[in-house]
Amino acid sequence: MPFTLIQFRRATSTQAWARDWARLGAREGLVVQALEQTAGRGRLQRSWHSPYNGGLYLSVLLRPTIPLAQASRLTMLVSLAAIEACQVVAGVTPVPKWPNDLLLQGRKLAGVLTELENQAERLSYAIIGLGLNANTDFRKTPLAETAISLQQATGHSVKLPVLRDAYLDALARRYQRFLSGESPVPAWKAQLEPLGRRVRVVQPGQALVEGTAIDVNADGALLVQDQVGITHTIWAGDIQTINNQQSTINDHPTD
Ligand code: BTN
């Protein structure tokens, strides 16, 4: 799939630009990148800290003809492609954390934001945003305990065009295989946090669920088995690991 890259020095949010162009009929493969975002956004109405040259902030428009229920696989593809790019460019291997994060040394390295448009049960398009901390130093900031960048982990700054191209190469390959019928679920769940751990699930407007994260289903939902043996299917929310395990709540707070 050929990519068409539009790069801003500064933008509000690459998600917003990509969505506007998608609504106007832009073709699949549109990539919107910004070197700085003034209104970068994350899941659950959070903001995404996006200082100039601090990270990869980009959104990709995809239009696969798939059922809406499979759209979470696109988030997985992006996570796997981002992991590959980190391996190639920085020699580190982050792990995916349900539902949309990448962790390095237990801290949040990257987040994926997937926004969908559908017609009945079919996907019309997906805008998949990746925010990957590359050169930001979080150590003396309020995010020191929860966020990390490639530069912090390796001691070397990262050239963003190199990281972006490695990511887009990996994504193009994985997307092609996905269109040919390969599911990204096995590769994504092979290292997935918090599988096997005791967790507390915080879902907006719903009761807490505590139990063991036993699996993810084919559509990417997390299966949590509670003390009485009931399995809860979790579609969205935040996960804390419990029982002396480090909490991995690490989304960026709203500025
Ligand atoms: C999250 O962890 O909550 C997801 C963060 C996604 C951030 C990226 S940066 C590029 C794109 N544009 C945005 O405004 N958000 C996504």
Using H for helix, E for strand and C for coil, what is the string for the chain? CCCEEEEECCECCHHHHHHHHHHCCCCCCEEEEECCECCCECHHHCECCCCCCCEEEEEEEECCCCEHHHCHHHHHHHHHHHHHHHHHHHCCCCEEECCCEEEECCEEEEEEEEEEEEECCEEEEEEEEEEEECCCCCCCCCCCCCECCHHHHHCCCCCHHHHHHHHHHHHHHHHHHHHCCCCCHHHHHHCCECCCCEEEEECCCCCCEEEEEEEECCCCCEEEECCCCCEEEECCCEEEECCCCCCCCCCCCCC
Alpha-carbon dihedral 135, 163, 83, 16, rounded to 10 degrees = 80
End-to-end alpha carbon distance in the chain: 37
- Strand duo 30-34 + 4-8: pairing: parallel
Tell me, in angstroms, the distance from the centre of ligand 1 to residue 87's CA.
21
CA of 230 to the centre of ligand 1 (A): 33
Whole-model pTM over 0.75: yes
Give residue 59 CA to ligand 1 midpoint distance, Å.
8
In the structure, what pLDDT confidence band is assigned to residue 21 with cuts at 50, 70 and 90? very high
Identify the CA nearest to 86 among candidates 155, 147, 158. Answer: 158
Q: What is the pLDDT of residue 164?
A: 98
Residue with the smallest CA separation from ligand 1 atom 5 is: 42
**Residue ranges around ligand 1 (CB below 6 Å):** 13-15, 37, 40-43, 46, 48, 57-59, 100-101, 111-113, 129-131, 251
- Residues 178-184 have a mean pLDDT of 96
User: Which ligand 1 atom is the nearest neighbour of the CA of 46?
Assistant: 3
Q: Which atom of ligand 1 is nearest to the CA of 251?
A: 2
pLDDT in tens, 71-102: 999 999 999 999 999 999 999 999 999 999 99
- The pLDDT of residue 204 is 79
Ligand 1 mean position, distance from CA 135 (Å): 16
State in Å: Cα 70 to ligand 1 middle.
20
Are 41 and 13 spatial neighbours (Cβ–Cβ below 8 Å)?
yes
* CA atoms of 98 and 100, how far apart (whole Å): 5
Residue located nearest, by CA, to atom 16 of ligand 1: 129
Ligand 1 atom nearest 12 alpha carbon: 14
Average pLDDT over residues 174-182: 97
Atom of ligand 1 nearest to the CA of 111: 2
Segment 58-64 mean pLDDT: 98
Ligand 1 atom closest to residue 34's alpha carbon, by position in its atom list: 10
Mutational pocket test of ligand 1: of 49, 57, 168, the residue with most ligand atoms within 8 Å of the beta carbon: 57
pLDDT of 243 above 90: no
Find where tokens 């190469």 sit: 169
Task: Give the per-residue pLDDT at 212.
Answer: 96
Q: Whose CA is nearest to atom 7 of ligand 1?
A: 131
**pLDDT at residue number 45:** 85
Predicted pLDDT of residue 246: 41
CA of 146 to the centre of ligand 1 (A): 16
